[in-house]
A and B are shown apart, each in its own frame.
Chain A
Amino acid sequence: DAMVIQNPRYQVTQFGKPVTLSCSQTLNHNVMYWYQQKSSQAPKLLFHYYDKDFNNEADTPDNFQSRRPNTSFCFLDIRSPGLGDAAMYLCATSRDGGTYEQYFGPGTRLTVT
């Protein structure tokens, strides 16, 4: 089945130790999004790509970066995780930015010790 896959599902990292989260999709969608979600709050958009065109939200911390090497893969890099970065990170895709819904992966729960 076509889907959005996130690895790992659970990630534990130490304070200040860089970490990379990955997302892949078999839907061949043009748009990919990264969200941060804390304790059952609304997802907060961090980055999005339309093909290779990249956009980060104005309030996304500089500590967060993203890469999309090809249509299928997208990565979220946290350069120096702080305790406040502990959250669920959700990847989503959409066919384009028009009327299409977003499809979400299962998420990666990040713990910072």
Chain B
Amino acid sequence: AQSVAQPEDQVNVAEGNPLTVKCTYSVSGNPYLFWYVQYPNRGLQFLLKYITGDNLVKGSYGFEAEFNKSQTSFHLKKPSALVSDSALYFCAVRDPTDSWGKLQFGAGTQVVVTP
């Protein structure tokens, strides 16, 4: 069975500082990994994904994530956080053998960026 963990309920960072949101996963075989962001009372927005290839993935709004197979991690990063990055972030994993494409979401990490 696949699972994903986001160890931090909340991450606080000052505007302009680097932002990291942690994610670890457990899946048999090679995982498909995704990051989504959710603003209040909105749906989830896709940020980036890792399927195969380069371990460093670049996505929307200046975000990037690094796939680390040995540590089974897929941490989300942004070099310089903005107040507008304050939102709820979800990491998700998909089993490549699942033809339905179902996602297993982490519990989410609330990011608070202060001016």
A and B together in one complex: yes
Are B88 and A40 within 8 A (Cβ)? yes
- Contact (A42, B107) CB under 8 Å given A96-B101, A97-B101, A102-B101: yes
Question: Taking the complex as formed, is A4 at the interface, i.e. its CB lies under 8 A from any CB of chain B?
Answer: yes
Question: Taking the complex as formed, is A70 at the interface, i.e. its CB lies under 8 A from any CB of chain B?
Answer: no
Name the contact of A99 in the complex, choosing from B45, B51, B88, B105 (C-beta under 8 A). Answer: B51
Give the number of residues in A that approach B within 8 Å (Cβ atoms).
29
Chain B hits for A100, CB < 8 A? 101
Question: Taking the complex as formed, is A110 at the interface, i.e. its CB lies under 8 A from any CB of chain B?
Answer: no
Are A101 and B90 within 8 A (Cβ)? no
Which of A13-21, A43-51, A58-66, A79-87 is found at the contact surface with chain B? A43-51
Q: What is the minimal beta-carbon distance from A67 to any residue of chain B, in angstroms?
A: 18
Chain B hits for A73, CB < 8 A? none
Are A90 and B34 within 8 A (Cβ)? no
Closest residue of chain B to A53, judged by CB?
B100
Q: B98-113: which residues lie under 8 A (CB-CB) from chain A? A: 98-103, 105-108, 110
Residues of A near any B CB (own CB < 8 A): 4, 6, 31, 33, 40-43, 45, 48, 50, 55, 88, 90, 92, 94, 96-107, 109
17 contacts between A and B (CB under 8 A): A31-B100, A41-B108, A45-B103, A88-B41, A90-B44, A92-B43, A97-B99, A97-B101, A98-B101, A99-B49, A101-B34, A101-B49, A102-B101, A104-B43, A104-B46, A106-B42, A109-B41
The 10 closest A-B pairs by CB, nearest first: A97-B101, A104-B43, A42-B105, A104-B44, A101-B46, A99-B51, A106-B43, A97-B99, A97-B100, A107-B43
